[in-house]
Amino acid sequence: MASPLAIEFASLSARLAPTVAVLAGEEVSLGATGRNVDEHAKGLLGKAARAAGFTGKARTAIEILAPAGVDAERIILAGAGRALGEYDRLRLGGFAYAQIAGRKVESASLIADLADPGETSPETLAADLAFGALLRSYSFDKYRTRRNNGNETEGEAPRDGLRRLIVHCASPDAAAKAFASRRAVAEGVFLARDLINEPANVLGPVEFAERLSDLARPDLSVEVLDEEQLRAHKMNALLAVAQGSARPPRVVVLQWHGAKSKRAKTLCFVGKGVTFDTGGLSMKPAAGMEDMKGDMGGAACVAGLMLALAGRKAAVNAVGLVGLTENMPSGTAQRPGDIITSMSGQTIEVLNTDAEGRLVLADLLWYAQERFKPRFIVDLATLTGAIMVALGKEYAGLFANDSKLAGELAAAGEAIGEKVWRMPLAKAYDKLIDSKNADMKNIGGRQAGAITAAQFLQRFIKETPWAHLDIAGTAMDSGRNEINQSWGAGWGVRLLDRLVADNYEKGEK
Ligand code: BES
Ligand code: MN
Ligand code: ZN
């Protein structure tokens, strides 16, 4: 990893670093501390803003060098716009971070003070800004031996600058406390990003499982099922995907025990972990195939979520299951037309070996229900190209058999900026995957590809409340923004952490 950025909280009167970021709201409105700086500098901030045409709009900034009357060498005025919502605050923190880091300084002060903070407490503002800055600071550069490959346009250069960010606010102790849980979530996001960004030669099923084994700690158990155990469980659908690869599959079960009540039912999260998807014998075209190193984005999210829940000691019992395999063509690979018997006993005619994610999930979902009798299951999978045709990269597809769970996910997504859009499930679509030769086939027709994939998964759900997130569009390469500059965004960690925090912890405490 990933982010050596150290974050500290200090009072508004504490000594400032030579580089200071001040937040300016609409019409360059400043908080009390900003006004104070401006007074010492004899109105320079306002004057500079007018000269530059800076109005305090979000995602704009100006730099004032060597201001007279104050100690700072440089003041960055960062536009806050109307930073009212939680996600706005994260983005503002990320934007301020980028403005500072672009100046190549080692340490800097960020004054967490707004003219109009609305309902937001000073410590929440400070902690959210710090969280946004931390998320933005991540970069995946472990394989870059030179800073500049002669190509400045390939993402942000490896960070050579900012190591320490001091966030000044009215109550630094309270802010530090509020930040602790956010830091734990950031660590989960970074784990997910690292796993997604890692190339498939380095990260196969075995290596992925090893990385998860390293997460074990009190109350977070990690269990790795090897090929023999998967066979004993009759996970033949998952094994059919793996059989073409020289690298053996793994299933990893992570369990977090944080609930106070003994009767608390387990929350269950399941992730597709295809460490590389060639399509198998139904092979994908060469162009863009490299992106299929990210076909384990669902599993990465589940891993990151479990780390986040453990890190902030969430008051729930949760289990995370990931199905890890490659999808490769070879003399041992499954063939189109093969019929396999899944763990559930239902038979599947494999008409396209590139529709492999649903095969992996079929057995995992069944296993999850048999073993844990969970309160709900949320699965995440980079499942279909079709979901991108429908929703692009802004929203992940949400399919659910339970409107309460669907509503909770949608609300969590709106709050933290990882949005989901509910798609239909219905009998009429289910018919599209009936097979003449087996209980079902693994592809529908040309139409409704993301829906028929979800219908397929639903055939492995019993009575359990269940939601499926098709994250093919959001897990990787989903547009860089204020809080993420990485190809693998770690999408879903913050969403599911919020789902848990807002809906499943309160009664448990
Ligand atoms: N992993 C892919 C889906 C995918 C495509 C994710 C592009 C991210 C970016 C999945 O295994 C797949 O190949 N799906 C097929 C299903 C089809 C054969 C029914 C697809 O979407 O084309
Ligand atoms: Mn595929
Ligand atoms: Zn796939």
Which one of 274, 354, 387, 476 would you pick to mutate in the ligand 1 pocket, going by the greatest count of ligand atoms within 8 A of its CB? Answer: 354
Q: How far is the CA of 465 from the centre of ligand 1 (A)?
A: 25
Q: How far is the CA of 297 from the centre of ligand 1 (A)?
A: 13
| Torsion sign over Cα 479, 488, 369, 311 | negative
Which one of 238, 295, 468 would you pick to mutate in the ligand 1 pocket, going by the greatest count of ligand atoms within 8 A of its CB? Answer: 295
Q: What is the pLDDT of residue 477?
A: 95
Task: Return d(Cα 155, Cα 163) in angstroms, integer.
Answer: 20
Which of 182, 358, 419, 441 is catalytic? The answer is 358
Q: What is the pLDDT of residue 4?
A: 78
* Mean pLDDT along residues 419-434: 98
Q: How far is the CA of 185 from the centre of ligand 2 (A)?
A: 30
Position in ligand 1 atom list of the atom nearest CA 386: 21
Q: How far is the CA of 386 from the centre of ligand 2 (A)?
A: 12
Predicted TM-score (pTM) of the model is: 0.97
Return the ligand number nearest the Cα of 294: 1
pLDDT of 127-147, one tens digit each?
999 999 999 999 999 999 986
Distances (CA, A) of 414 to 169, 487, 499: 27, 22, 11
Q: Cβ distance 278 to 260 under 8 Å?
A: no
395: β partners: 419
Task: Return d(Cα 288, Cα 171) in angstroms, integer.
Answer: 49
* Mean pLDDT along residues 419-444: 98
Distances (CA, A) of 73 to 13, 21, 34, 458: 17, 11, 16, 60
Q: How far is the CA of 382 from the centre of ligand 1 (A)?
A: 7
Which residues in 174-191 are b (16+ Cβ under 10 Å) and which e? bbbebbebbbbbbbbbbb
Which one of 278, 384, 441, 456 would you pick to mutate in the ligand 1 pocket, going by the greatest count of ligand atoms within 8 A of its CB? Answer: 384
The beta-strand segments (E) located in 238-316 are: 250-257, 267-277
Neighbour-count burial of 481, counting CB atoms closer than 10 A to its CB (0-12 exposed, 13-18 middle, 19+ buried):
middle
Q: What is the pLDDT of residue 160?
A: 59
Q: How far is the CA of 285 from the centre of ligand 3 (A)?
A: 13
pLDDT of 170-211, one tens digit each?
999 999 999 999 999 999 999 999 999 999 999 999 999 999
pLDDT of 88-120, one tens digit each?
999 999 999 999 999 999 999 999 999 999 999
Count of beta carbons in the 10 Å neighbourhood of residue 134: 27
Question: 443 is written with which tokens?
Answer: 């592809």
464 or 150, which is more confident?
A: 464
**pLDDT of 161 strictly over 50:** yes
pLDDT of 379-412, one tens digit each?
999 999 999 999 999 999 999 999 999 999 999 9
181: helix, coil or strand? helix
Element (H, E) at 469: strand 466-470
Name residues contacting ligand 1 (CB within 6 A). Answer: 277, 291, 295, 352, 354-357, 382-386, 443, 449, 472
**Among 382, 381, 250, 245, residue whose Cα is nearest residue 326:** 245
Q: How far is the CA of 450 from the centre of ligand 3 (A)?
A: 12
Q: CA geometry: angle at 197 spanning 196 and 203, to 5°?
A: 70
Position in ligand 1 atom list of the atom nearest CA 449: 19
160 or 362, which is more confident?
A: 362
Position in ligand 1 atom list of the atom nearest CA 277: 1
Q: What is the pLDDT of residue 383?
A: 99
pLDDT of 206-245, one tens digit each?
999 999 999 999 999 999 999 999 999 999 999 999 999 9
Which residues in 362-381 are b (16+ Cβ under 10 Å) and which e? bbbbbbbbeebebbbbbbbb
Question: 328 is written with which tokens?
Answer: 């490769």
Q: What is the pLDDT of residue 349?
A: 99
94: helix, coil or strand? helix
421: helix, coil or strand? strand
**Among 300, 320, 297, residue whose Cα is nearest residue 500:** 320
What angle do the packed helices 44-52 and 32-40 form, to 10 degrees?
Answer: 100
Return the ligand number nearest the Cα of 280: 2
Task: Return d(Cα 121, Cα 175) in angstroms, integer.
Answer: 10
Q: Is position 159 annotated as part of the catalytic site? A: no
- H helices of 41-103, in order, are 44-52, 86-101
Position in ligand 1 atom list of the atom nearest CA 442: 19
Task: Return d(Cα 356, Cα 406) in angstroms, integer.
Answer: 25
Q: Is position 234 annotated as part of the catalytic site? A: no
Mean pLDDT of the chain: 96
Position in ligand 1 atom list of the atom nearest CA 295: 1
Cβ neighbours for 160, distance < 8 A, ≥ 6 positions apart: 104, 147
Name the residue with the closest Cα to ligand 1, atom 14: 384
Return the ligand number nearest the Cα of 274: 3
Return the ligand number nearest the Cα of 325: 3
* Mean pLDDT along residues 56-66: 97
**pLDDT of 486 strictly over 70:** yes
Distances (CA, A) of 212 to 86, 107, 226, 232: 31, 33, 14, 22
| 509: confidence class by pLDDT, cuts 50, 70, 90 | very low
**pLDDT of 155 strictly over 90:** no
Name the residue with the closest Cα to ligand 1, atom 8: 472
Which of 284, 371, 393, 422 is catalytic? The answer is 284
- H helices of 256-356, in order, are 297-311
Name the residue with the closest Cα to ligand 1, atom 22: 385
- Radius of gyration in angstroms for the set of CA atoms belonging to the chain, rounded to a whole number: 24
Cβ neighbours for 209, distance < 8 A, ≥ 6 positions apart: 224, 250, 252, 324
**Among 454, 260, 459, 255, residue whose Cα is nearest residue 374:** 255
